[in-house]
Amino acid sequence: MIQFCKNCGAKIVFDPKTNCMYCDNCGSFFDVSEYQIEEGYQEDAPVPQSQLYGDYANTPAHGGGQQQAYGSQQTYGSGQQYGSQQTYGTQQQYAGQQGYTDQQAYAPPDMECYIYRCGSCGAEISINNVEASTFCVYCGNPNVVFSRVAKIKRPQKIIPFSVTWQQAEMLIRAKVRDGFFIPNEIKNFRVEMLRGIYIPYYITCIGYRDAMEVKSTVKRGKNSETIYSLRSGYCVFDRMTTDASRRLTDATSEKLEPFNMQELKDFNENYLTGFYADVSDVEPQEACVTAYWRARGLFEEEILKSVEGSSKKILQQYPEYIVQTEPMKTMFPAWFLTFRYKDRPYTILVNGQTGKVVGGIPWNKTKFITLFLIIAVLLSIILIPILKGYFILEFGSGRRYSSSSNDSSGKLLVYIVIGAGLAISAGVTKLKRVLKSIRLASESSLTSFVSKRQKGG
């Protein structure tokens, strides 16, 4: 879809900075509503309620919402038995509660788009009045070719870009600039590799209820006691978001959140001009299952917070849910920077609304090992004299020292050992988080679902 300037006839695109249509040729600005897309609406059958409601405890997930308070709770001592026939609650439908008041009864109309396909990973991108990229934004390979003109369902809502290309570049450079272990090749990334893409999402209003028995360990003086707690209640997640693209893993899309739902707008194709758009390949029924798993995880997290003690474990539970409204198809903005390092592709994402930067960055292992060895040597130089002096005081001098001196020396040694242990532990924890982020940003995580689909999985 191409729009032309009313003043000079040149192509115009959506400008995130002004939230208007902009002509780069004559500098004119136009309100998005000035360019209307007149196409007929076609009716589509809604998703059957039998497919929107159910118990998916054994269904694999594909994948924020807002939750309401959960209900009753009861705690029992370690010696109490539970009957296997105990009832935790009856099934309840949330038919009287409202989801989106402005959701339409009809599916959105189709819109025509030009689909480009990557020959390496199979990713498909819709091009909207922007020069087609010669590389894939997901795997970084230069095998993107025109595939077809397709009709796709027009989304009902959209959050337009508010972070500009220049701002996204600055945010990424700020992230990589101060990293001591980040290779210089990455710090000097090519800005032409930065692309703005609308990611398809579903927004679902889902009611979730559960009853569970939780086992935990509680300290009673010097002893520990095992207790069993019963919890039951329900939550309503009125704006549960799940991505509708298999190329983005759920872990990556969840890190990109949250999006401000107050800025949702009625969909208009003009918002797409000048940007790419990912093609949705997830059906509403699958989005419902994903929403269920997200709701279940959030519910369990809050429930476990209410249980005292440690080593908490859910022994049994009875989850139920109902989708109150048909999943609403939307589009959320994100900037993609794809680059290759040592023949492996990486992707950094920037939330196109909030500016949040997501994605792990490769690090220079040689620098890391060198710095680690230097720190180890310096610590040895500092600690050896201290430890040597301590052992001389304790065992080697033959002199008499007061107990207070010995206590002070002992405490100093303990503090040093504890401090070193905490520093090492914190470093290992941070390193694990970094490595996890790097895995999410690499090709294997961003294209895992695509690979499975190409193989018939």
Give the rounded percent of residues in the chain with a pLDDT score beyond 90: 23
Q: Which residue has the higher pLDDT, 95 or 109?
A: 109
Q: Is the pLDDT of residue 428 over 70?
A: no
Q: What is the pLDDT of residue 148?
A: 64
Q: What is the pLDDT of residue 371?
A: 67
Q: What is the pLDDT of residue 130?
A: 56
Return the closest-CA partner of residue 139 out of 439, 445, 456: 445
Q: What is the pLDDT of residue 181?
A: 64
Residue 263: pLDDT band by 50, 70, 90 thresholds? very high
Q: What is the pLDDT of residue 178?
A: 67
Q: What is the pLDDT of residue 330?
A: 94
Neighbour-count burial of 215, counting CB atoms closer than 10 A to its CB (0-12 exposed, 13-18 middle, 19+ buried):
middle
Residues 92, 96, 101, 103, CA torsion sign: positive
Q: What average pLDDT does range 64-76 have in this prediction?
A: 43
Q: What is the CA radius of gyration of the chain?
A: 28
Query: For the chain, what is the largest distance between any 2 Cα atoms, rounded to a whole number of angstroms?
Result: 99
Quote the CA–CA distance of 206 and 68 in Å, as a whole number: 12
Q: What average pLDDT does range 333-339 have in this prediction?
A: 87
Tokens in use for 407? 């206590």
Q: What is the pLDDT of residue 61?
A: 42
Q: Which residue has the higher pLDDT, 400 or 22?
A: 22
Identify whether the C-beta of residue 364 lies closer than 8 Å to the C-beta of residue 181.
yes
What pLDDT, in 10s, does the model give residues 37-67?
543 333 333 444 333 334 444 444 444 444 4
Top-confidence range, 54-63, 312-321, 424-433: 312-321
Beta-sheet pairing, 110-118 with 20-23: unpaired
Q: Is the pLDDT of residue 69 over 70?
A: no
Residue 309, phi-psi category: left (phi > 0), alpha (psi -120 to 50), beta (remainder): left
Return the closest-CA partner of residue 202 out of 99, 264, 291: 291
Q: Is the pLDDT of residue 292 over 50?
A: yes
SS3 86: coil
Q: Is the pLDDT of residue 162 over 70?
A: yes
Q: Is the pLDDT of residue 97 over 90?
A: no
Tokens in use for 333? 């903005």
Q: Which of 55-59, 106-110, 201-205, 446-450 is the least confident region? A: 446-450
Identify whether the C-beta of residue 237 lies closer than 8 Å to the C-beta of residue 205.
yes
Q: Which residue has the higher pLDDT, 344 or 328?
A: 328
Q: What average pLDDT does range 236-250 have in this prediction?
A: 86
Q: What is the pLDDT of residue 343?
A: 72
Q: What average pLDDT does range 410-420 have in this prediction?
A: 57
Q: What average pLDDT does range 430-457 have in this prediction?
A: 44
Identify whether the C-beta of residue 172 lies closer than 8 Å to the C-beta of residue 346.
no
Q: What is the pLDDT of residue 122?
A: 75
Phi, psi of 324 (to 5 degrees): -80, -30
Q: What average pLDDT does range 408-426 have in this prediction?
A: 57
To the nearest whole number, what is the mean pLDDT of the chain? 71
